[in-house]
Amino acid sequence: MSLKERDIVLTGKDADGNSTIDLPITRLGNVEGTADVKAAPEQGDYIPLVDSADNGQMKKILVSALAELLGIDVDSALSATSENPVQNKVIQAALNKKAALNEDGVVSVDQGGTGAATLEALTQSIATAVAGSADLAAALGDAIGGCKIQTGSYVGTGTYGASNPCSLTFDFVPKIYGVVGYVTSSNSPGSTEGNLVCTVEQLTTTFAKAMVPVASAWSYGYGKVSADGKTVSWYTTNATNSAQSQNNETGRIYYWYALG
């Protein structure tokens, strides 16, 4: 006996006794609303199709194959010029980045941004903060590499030599320093001995001949710098007018500067 293929309609009754026509699950309308729904297909997904070349059999085809068949190019990156569709994961990644923006299109400070839409606004915000905090001003100076200047004075003690070096301690690590003048006990000004501009870079942590603020430095001057770079020390081995040569004459007020 041969088999015969035919189209049929299944009928039945529901729980209330009403007559029904029962359609196969392949009908989209028969999929319940609580079933899983995928927002967008991926390249490895399949979709169903009816194969007209195989007597209407239900088969499946890869989404990527269908896109290629239809001549659809799917981009893997966002573009301002492309008119192609783009992968769902690329769109999601872009949305995640945008999530930190506020209504003005600015990344707020608490989200890791500057909180400013323009350079001018950022500059004004920094200026306002700096005006109210000396510590912040110093920190910003460190951050942006601004020039630091410090000045001061010391009173000469009349001593000199390796056992009695002069020292200056600064609030920062200077690049250059110098002793630029003095005032005597009778309030008479005078010029200091030796170099007005001395570099810290030449100094080591042990005394050695160096360009320091003493008379004839290269012949008689010795200097060093502390391990943290903030204290410089010097002395002279010149036996003639030695305290004066070392810029340490008794009672004189010596004025110094440092730049960093």
Binned at pLDDT 50, 70 and 90, residue 227 comes out as: very high
Is 213 within a domain?
yes
Is 1 within a domain?
no
Q: Report the C-alpha gap between 253 and 235 in whole angstroms.
A: 17
Confidence check: pLDDT of 88 > 90: no
In DSSP notation, 11-45 reads: EEE-TTS-EEEE--TTSGGGS-TTS---SS--TT-
Residues 153 and 247 placed together within one structural domain of the fold: yes
Confidence check: pLDDT of 15 > 70: yes
CA dist 191 to 195, 248, 254, Å? 11, 13, 10
Q: Which residue did the predictor score with more confidence, 23 or 46?
A: 46
Specify the pLDDT at position 61: 82
Average pLDDT over residues 91-101: 67
Residues 155 and 239 placed together within one structural domain of the fold: yes
Strand-strand pairing, 208-209 and 198-199:
unpaired
Residues 131 and 182 placed together within one structural domain of the fold: no
Give pairs for 165-169: CB < 8 Å, separation 24+: 165/207, 165/222, 165/233, 165/234, 165/235, 166/213, 166/233, 166/234, 166/235, 166/246, 166/247, 166/248, 167/231, 167/232, 167/233, 167/234, 168/231, 168/232, 168/233, 168/256, 168/258, 169/230, 169/231
pLDDT, mean over the chain: 77
Residues 28 and 65 placed together within one structural domain of the fold: yes
Of the residues 90, 122, 144, which one is the last residue of a structural domain? 144
Is 85 within a domain?
no
Specify the pLDDT at position 194: 75
Specify the pLDDT at position 256: 92
Residues 64 and 20 placed together within one structural domain of the fold: yes
Binned at pLDDT 50, 70 and 90, residue 35 comes out as: low
Q: Are 53 and 42 in contact (CB under 8 A)?
A: no
Is 29 within a domain?
yes
Is 103 within a domain?
no
Residues 251 and 176 placed together within one structural domain of the fold: yes
Residue among 139, 157, 156 at smallest CA distance from 148: 139
Q: Which residue did the predictor score with more confidence, 216 or 231?
A: 231
Is 95 within a domain?
no
Specify the pLDDT at position 122: 64
Residues 123 and 54 placed together within one structural domain of the fold: no
Q: Report the C-alpha gap between 64 and 44 in whole angstroms.
A: 7
Residues 156 and 253 placed together within one structural domain of the fold: yes
Lay out the sheet containing 166-169: strands in order across.
166-169, 231-236, 221-225, 208-209
Counted domains in the chain: 3
24-58: b or e for each residue (b if 16 or more CB lie within 10 Å)?
A: eeeeeeeeeeeeeeeeeeeeeeeeeeeeeeeeeee
For the chain, percent of residues with pLDDT exceeding 70:
68
Joined together, the tokens standing for residue 127 give 């200026």
Specify the pLDDT at position 1: 46
Of the residues 125, 144, 163, which one is the last residue of a structural domain? 144
Q: Which residue did the predictor score with more confidence, 45 or 171?
A: 171
Joined together, the tokens standing for residue 256 give 């110094």
Average pLDDT over residues 163-177: 94
Q: Report the C-alpha gap between 178 and 196 in whole angstroms.
A: 5
Of the residues 84, 117, 144, which one is the last residue of a structural domain? 144
Instruction: Report pLDDT digits (tens) over 134-151.
Output: 555 555 555 555 688 899
Tally Cβ neighbours within 10 Å of residue 144: 8
Q: Which structural domain, as residue segments, surrounds residue 132? A: 109-144
Is 90 within a domain?
no
88's enclosing H/E stretch is: helix 88-98
Residues 255 and 153 placed together within one structural domain of the fold: yes
Confidence check: pLDDT of 180 > 60: yes
Is 96 within a domain?
no
